[in-house]
Amino acid sequence: MDCFKKLEALIDADGANLVAESRTLLAQFKGTSQELAGAVDEFLLDMMTLEFLLEAEREAFHNSARRLARMRLTMVKLLSTYAL
């Protein structure tokens, strides 16, 4: 399973440590480009928001947070094809 499939699975997961696992998976892109680093940072912020909502049991916001994280992950994917 590649990095992005694992990240997509994390977006759908209900567990903890989403941010830590995402950081580990995205470490391979460190230092590639400023644009990609910015996209990774934005994705991680969305994952922090999702993790917070999951922990706070704010189910009404889960789908919206997941949708936003998926959009940001798409940007990371697109930029990674040019950076590597």
Name the band, by pLDDT with cuts 50, 70 and 90, for residue 73: very high
Which string of b and e fits 9-35 if b means at least 16 CB within 10 Å? Answer: ebbeeeeeebbebbeeebeebeeeeee
What is the pLDDT at residue 14?
85
Please write the tens of the pLDDT for every residue from 10-60. 999 987 789 999 999 999 988 889 999 999 999 999 999 999 999 998 889
In sequence order, what DSSP letters do the residues of 19-47 get, joined into one string? HHHHHHHHGGGTTS-HHHHHHHHHHHHHH
Q: Domain boundaries in the chain?
A: 3-24+33-83
What is the pLDDT at residue 32?
85
pTM (2 d.p.): 0.90
